[in-house]
Copies of this chain bind each other. A is one copy, B any other.
Amino acid sequence: MKNNKITPQKEDFPRWYQDVVKEAELAENSEVRGCGIVRPYGYKIWELIKEELNRMITSTGVENVYFPIFVPMENLEAEKDHIEGFAPELAVVTHGGGQELVNKLVVRPTSETAMYKTYARWIQSYKDLPLRLNQWNNVVRWEKRPRAFLRWSEFLWQEGHTVFADREGAIAEMWQMLDIYEKMYEYMALPVFKGRKSEVEKFAGAEITSTVEVMVRDGKAIQGGTSHYLGTNFSEVFDVKYLGEDGEKHFGHQNSWGFSWRSIGAVIMGHGDDNGLRLPPNIAPIQVVTVPIYKDENKAEVITYAEKIFSDIKGWRKKIDLRNNLTPGFKYNHWEARGVPVRLEIGPKEAADGTVTVFRRDINTKETVGEKDLSARLEKLMAEIHDNLYKQAKEFALAHIHRIESVDEIKDQVGFFEASWSEDPASERSLKERFSMVSRVLPADNQDKEPKNKKCFITGKEAKHDWLFAKSY
C-alpha cells in the first residue's frame, strides 16, 4: 500500500526527504530560523547512535570532558585559516548579564580554539602525551540553506581533540578514528567511501582532512564524519608544547574528529523508500511492532493472543499498537513510514492456528511463523534485515560510480564520478561552478596507486590520483 503523504523519491527527492522527516515524526523546524526541533522518535535514534559510538570511542582510551559553549572571539581569530573558514557562520554574543561585553563571545562552531589554551597548561612533558579527549555537545554554524539533520544552524555531535608527541602517532590516530566512523556506519548498515579530502575541501586549519562519504539513494554524497590531522597549526598558535625525552621543547601534533546527527540524514536518505524510513535494527527505536487485526466479534480473542505473543518477545525494543478506530492499513502505513524493521500481524486466523504473520520492512514481504518458532526467527530476521540493507546500499553505491576521462562526460547521471585528477585547487573551483560538484574523497585504496589516466580530467595536466567527485548535501 502506497503512503500518499510521502512524495515519491523519483518525483522529488528533497521533498521526499522532508516528507519522511515529518511523517515519521523525526523532527521539524523551529521558530528560530535554521534551528530544528528533534522529536522523541528522532531523538531516540540519535541516542542509540550516540551510545554505540561513545562505546567505540572510549574503548580506545579516549575520555569525555566538557568545555564551555562560548569562545572568546579573539581565540577564534588566532588561527588565520580557521577564522576565515568560520567567520561567515558565527553567532555572536554581545551582551551578558545585562551588560555589553568588552570581549565578544562566539557560540562555538567547533572547539579547537576553546580548548587548546587549556591543553597548553595541562601538557608539560612527553609523559602527558598522548592527551585524548572528546566531548558530546551542541555547536552553532549559521546556515543559509538549512535542511533537517544535514544542515541546521545548531547541531549535536561529538568532537574529539587529541595531542600526540609526533606526526606519526597523530596520523595513525586520525585513521583509527576514521575507521571507527566507518564501523559506525556499518552498524547503521551503510557502506562508506573512506579517504582523504582535497586542499579546497579540507577543514579550516587542518593539514590533512580524512572523511567517510555516504552515497545516498539519489546518488549524491553525504559527508558522514571527518577526522583531521591539524599538524602543529594550532599548537604553535596556542603554545601547546611539551618537554621531550631529549630535553627539548616541541610543539604537539594535534587531531580533531567529529561525527554529528547528520548521520541520521544519511540513514534516512541511504535506506528510505517511497513508504518512508527503513531503519536498520541496531538504531530502530522500535524493532518489532505488533498489530492486532480484529472485528468486534473476535476482538477479545485476537487481543488476548496478540498480547501473549507481545509479552513473549524478549530482548527487542517493542511496541503493541492497540489504538482503536484506526484501520490495520492505517497502522501499517504508520509503522512503515517510521521504518520499524519487523511487524507482527495477528488476526483471528493466526490466533486460531497459533501462528504470527511476520512482515519485514526492508523488502516488504510477509511470512508465517509458528508461535514457538517466533523467538528464533526474530533473532535471525534482524540479522538478515541488517545484512540485506547493507548489501542493497553497497550494491547501489558500486553500481553508481561512473568512470570518466573528461568533464564532457559529466551528464545528469545518478551517482559519483571517478576520475584521474591533478588535485589543482583552481580546477576544483571551476568544477564546482560548472557542475555544482566537488571532489568528495581520494579513496584510501587509491592513495598509493598510479592514476588510471595520466591526464587530469579537468586540466589535461598530469593527474596524481583517482578521486571520487559528486554533488553533495
**A binding-site residues for B, Cβ under 8 Å:** 28, 30-32, 35-40, 43-44, 46-47, 63-72, 75, 87-98, 105, 107, 114, 117-118, 133, 137-138, 140, 142-144, 153-154, 156
Contacts and interface: CB of A to CB of B under 8 A. Distances in A.
A40 B68 contact: no
A332 B93 CA distance: 45
A458 B436 CA distance: 75
A149 to B, nearest CB: 11
Contacts of A65: 37-40, 43
A30 B118 contact: yes
A93 B96 contact: no
A97 B89 contact: yes
A63 B92 contact: no
A98 B88 CA distance: 5
A43 B31 contact: no
A43 B144 CA distance: 35
A444 B66 CA distance: 36
Given A40-B64, A96-B142, 5 more contacts: A44-B64, A69-B69, A91-B93, A91-B105, A94-B95
A68 B154 contact: yes
Contacts of A87: 98
A47 to B, nearest CB: 7
A28 to B, nearest CB: 8
A63 B35 contact: no
A56 to B, nearest CB: 16
A182 B64 CA distance: 27
Contacts of A68: 30, 32, 35-37, 154
Nearest to A36: B68
5 contacts: A30-B68, A37-B65, A37-B67, A68-B154, A92-B95
Nearest to A64: B43
A425 B63 CA distance: 48
Q: Which 5 pairs across A and B sit closest by C-beta, in order of nearness?
A: A97-B142, A35-B68, A40-B63, A92-B95, A38-B66
Contacts of A30: 67-68, 114, 118
A138 B88 contact: no
A107 B154 contact: no
A28 B32 CA distance: 33
Nearest to A285: B63
B90 A97 contact: yes
Contacts of A98: 87-88, 90, 142
Contacts of A37: 65-68, 118
Contacts of A31: 72, 75, 117-118
Contacts of A118: 28, 30-31, 37
